[in-house]
Amino acid sequence: MTPEQLAAEAMGQPINPGMMETGSFWIWGILVALTIAWTIKDRKLPLFGLVLIAATSSFWQEFFGDWGAYLAWNPAFDRLPLWGDMAFTTPVKPLFVPFSWGWWFAISIPLLVMLVRWLNRKFPRVSITAIAMLTAFPLFLAYQINVEGSSVANGWWTYDSIIGPTLESEKGRLPLVFPLLIGLWAGGFVALLAMRDSDGLMPHERRLGVAARPVGLQRELARVWAMVLVFQITFFVVNIAPPIIGRLIFGGPSALVP
């Protein structure tokens, strides 16, 4: 049997797949519309719009990280066109993944940035980095553990092999190393976005020369490029490279994720 046939037999039909498929398309589309409206109103891209673009453009990392984590998607999901079998990627690549990446990070990250900035005003002696690590890290960790459990239970995906410490539950065996990594990334990323200079620019925007661009289209395009760059690099280094390297060094063969 092929890996996809084995995965289909192991997971069966996914439960409530429309929550991820149809739901992701609708939420992503609404956020795009809001981004356009906000930009026209303020003549400036909102933070959620910048993150929406950056996260959507980074979706390709999902399938390489899945390979490293031995994660197999349910073959019943609609697939991305033009991207089938490829070395070091999980076999099934669901169509909704770019949209789910976009909407989830576009909602969660800006909300956490707002929370961190509010707490920083209340407790100015506490560093923004410390506040972010005390809020974004545990919230993302809790979310990821919950999502992993419910998704395995719903037959959306499964792990063919577990790396590192696990959480044993009736919903399945859940690896803890990957939720920990994304929690750490979220804490650092939120801290970066919460820091602003007197002109309202974030540290990565200053370093990448956004301030030198004239206010208007050129500056907003530079802000988009800066956000895409920092999102792609930080997410890959913290969340994607470790499982890939871990599997290459310590991992073995997999029936579901060759």
Does residue 55 or residue 19 have the better pLDDT?
55
DSSP, collapsed to helix, strand or coil, labels residue 53 as: helix
pLDDT in tens, 210-226: 999 999 999 999 999 99
Does residue 50 or residue 4 have the better pLDDT?
50
Any idea what DSSP says for residue 169?
E
pLDDT in tens, 24-80: 999 999 999 999 999 999 999 999 999 999 999 999 999 999 999 999 999 999 999
Q: Which residues contact 195 (CB under 8 A, 6 or more apart)?
A: 128, 202, 203
pLDDT for the residue numbered 145: 84
Q: For all residues of the chain together, what is the average pLDDT? A: 93
Is the pTM above the cut of 0.85? Answer: yes
pLDDT band at 169 (very low <50, low <70, confident <90, very high): low
Does residue 60 contact residue 114 with C-beta atoms inside 8 Å? no
Q: Give residue 148's Cα distance to chain centre.
A: 13
Question: Phi/psi at 71 (nearest 5 deg)?
Answer: -90, 125
Token pair in block for residue 22: 């149809």
Token pair in block for residue 110: 């800006």
Q: Give residue 27's Cα distance to chain centre.
A: 15
pLDDT tops 60 at residue 171:
no
Determine how many CB atoms are found less than 10 A away from the CB of residue 250.
9
pLDDT in tens, 230-250: 999 999 999 999 999 999 999
Q: Which residue has the tokens 């003549």?
A: 43
Q: Cα angle vertex 4, ends 247, 150, to 5°?
A: 75
Q: Which residues contact 209 (CB under 8 A, 6 or more apart)?
A: 222
Contacts 24+ apart (CB under 8 A), 224-227: 224/45, 224/50, 224/53, 224/54, 227/50, 227/51, 227/53, 227/54
Does residue 109 contact residue 101 with C-beta atoms inside 8 Å? no
pLDDT for the residue numbered 67: 97
DSSP, collapsed to helix, strand or coil, labels residue 247 as: helix
Counting DSSP H helices and E strands in the chain, the numbers are 10, 4
Q: Cα angle vertex 182, ends 77, 248, to 5°?
A: 75
pLDDT in tens, 70-105: 999 999 999 999 998 999 999 999 999 999 999 999
- How many angstroms separate the CA atoms of 162 and 75, rounded? 20
- List 168's β-bridge partners, or say none: 173
Token pair in block for residue 167: 């959480």
